[in-house]
Amino acid sequence: MRRFVGLMSGTSVDAVDAALVEIDEFDFGIRTGGFASLALDDALRDEFHALQASGPDELERAMRAGVALADRYADAVEALLAQSGLRPEQINAIGAHGQTVRHRPEQGYSIQLLNAARLAERCGIAVVHDLRAADIAAGGQGAPLVPAFHAQVFRSPLERRAIVNLGGIANVTLLPADCGSEEPVRGFDTGPANTLLDAWCRRHTGRAFDADGAWARSAAVHEALLARMLSDPYFSRPAPKSTGRDLFDSNWLQRAIDAACDRGDLGRRGDSAGAGSDVRVGSGGSDEPAAADVQATLVELTAVTVARACADYGAQAVYACGGGTRNAFLMERLAHRLAPTPLETTAVLRIDPQAVEAAAFAWLAAQRIDAKAANLTSVTGACGPRVLGAISDPRVSRS
Ligand SMILES: Nc1ncnc2c1ncn2[C@@H]1O[C@H](COP(=O)(O)OP(=O)(O)O)[C@@H](O)[C@H]1O
Ligand SMILES: [Mg+2]
């Protein structure tokens, strides 16, 4: 049996997640083991947010942030190994995502900051990193990469499933029933989830996130704003597609709010969100939607866009993972939009929803070590299968 560690810090920039994955010698059994999550300190999180846009001394700052993240990643590996009672020699490799500060596949690159050699040196374990570049070089989006892992661990012989990751950005994996059908696995980023929820909540309440969605629950959906947000061409663009904070940032949200105000149709009930909506609608009449109503509208945006992707595919059941599964209100709104299609979390498929993304990067490390292609061309749009990732290996060959 071989063991791999996956390290993930996503667009929410909330924490470093570390997951242990065990793969049996025939590569059939994939088992997720322990999981550890270390919060990112405010200074580093703010710096990653700042590095999302060009600024003074940005090269130097990017390298320093990559060094700081390597140290945080190493702390997470140490915590995971201590908790699992394992030594570094018992880990075959680490798959480390790094922190995305640019995602521009159409321009030929996506930047995940991380000083991988430093991480490898500190842990004494080989590190697989820069996992998106090869797919982008082959004309793909370089994202999402997790659908290949989802297909390995979540595909059912009978059920047409959708796996939904509610991270900073939401992405779906669409898994046809595995009954000899030739239909490919599909997957794409549906749009924003926690990244805009967190930014808005932080700005208006000072809290890092809206715990359980309580603040959004207290408010009403602003239909004109929802319609304005849904009119962004990203949502109607066909897959393959992927996105990030390059598009869905606070400026995007502010532009949508401004546009909804200018149209003078604040609070008027629209039909943008489709039939069957029973959302409460803001009272209207003001120039600016109430801050809590914007939060409720952002929750609805995620619920609508994810549910559409699942419905268009004809999913028979939907399984969610990621930090957004802890947002009870978001899960309720998503369940409502999906009904009668059932919504569960991946816990019922025996993988902790918080650990799925990090586990996927452990599996990607295994694919790289075995020199196996790990991109799904039906997902990323690359012109062919590619081995993903570069390797930093501090272990000296003894042969
Ligand atoms: N109790 C909670 N209530 C509401 N939202 C939560 C809760 N716990 C976590 N979250 C959300 O989950 C996010 C982290 O999700 P995660 O899957 O790690 O995203 P990413 O992959 O982008 O880092 C947090 O930023 C927060 O928005
Ligand atoms: Mg996270």
How does pLDDT run across 84-96, given as a tens digit for each residue? 999 999 999 999 9
Percent of the chain with pLDDT over 90: 88
Assess contact for 20 and 30: CB atoms under 8 A: no
C-alpha to C-alpha distance for 367 and 369, rounded to whole angstroms: 6
125-135 per-position pLDDT tens digit:
999 999 999 99
Q: Does the pLDDT value for residue 40 go beyond 50?
A: yes
168 alpha carbon – ligand 2 mean position (Å) = 7
Single out the residue of 80, 38, 71, 10 nearest to residue 357, CA to CA. Answer: 10
Ligand 1 center to 194 CA (angstroms): 6
Residues of the chain with CATH 3.30.420.40: 2-144+355-392, 154-349
* pLDDT over 70 (residue 103): yes
Pocket lining: 353 vs ligand 1, CB cutoff 6 Å: no
Statement: residue 275 has pLDDT above 70:
no
Q: Determine the atom of ligand 1 nearest the C-alpha atom of 11.
A: 22
Contacts of 310 (CB under 8 A, 6+ apart): 162, 164, 172, 174, 318, 338, 341
**Residue 16's closest CA among 25, 5, 7, 28?**
7
Contacts of 382 (CB under 8 A, 6+ apart): 135, 136, 138, 139, 140, 375
Average of pLDDT values for 295-314?
A: 98
Q: How many CB atoms lie within 10 A of CB 39?
A: 11
Give the model's pLDDT for residue 162.
98
Q: What is the position in ligand 1's atom list of the atom closest to the CA of 210?
A: 4
Judge if the beta carbon of residue 300 lies within 6 A of ligand 1. no
Under the banding of pLDDT at 50, 70 and 90, the label for residue 179 is confident
Contact 357 CB / ligand 1 (< 6 Å): yes
Share of the chain above pLDDT 70, in %: 92
Host H or E run for residue 97? none
Q: How far is the CA of 13 from the centre of ligand 2 (A)?
A: 6
How large is the angle between the packed helices 356-369 and 147-154, nearest 10 degrees? Answer: 100
pLDDT tens digits, residue range 3-13? 999 999 999 99
Helix residue ranges, H only, 124-249: 133-137, 147-154, 194-205, 214-217, 223-230, 233-236
Q: State yes or no: pLDDT of 276 exceeds 60.
A: no
Say what the pLDDT of residue 100 is.
98
Q: pLDDT value at position 27?
A: 59
Mean per-residue pLDDT over the chain, rounded: 93
Query: Which CATH number does the domain 154-349 belong to among 3.40.50.300, 3.30.9.10, 3.30.420.40, 1.10.150.20?
Result: 3.30.420.40
Residue nearest to atom 10 of ligand 1 (CA): 323
The distance from CA 148 to its chain's CA centroid, rounded to whole angstroms, is: 14
Pocket of ligand 1 contains residue 192 by CB under 6 Å: no
- Cβ–ligand 1 distance for 39 under 6 Å, the answer no
Cβ-contact 351, 345 below 8 angstroms: no
Please give the CATH topology (third level) of the domain spanning 2-144+355-392. Answer: Nucleotidyltransferase; domain 5 (3.30.420)
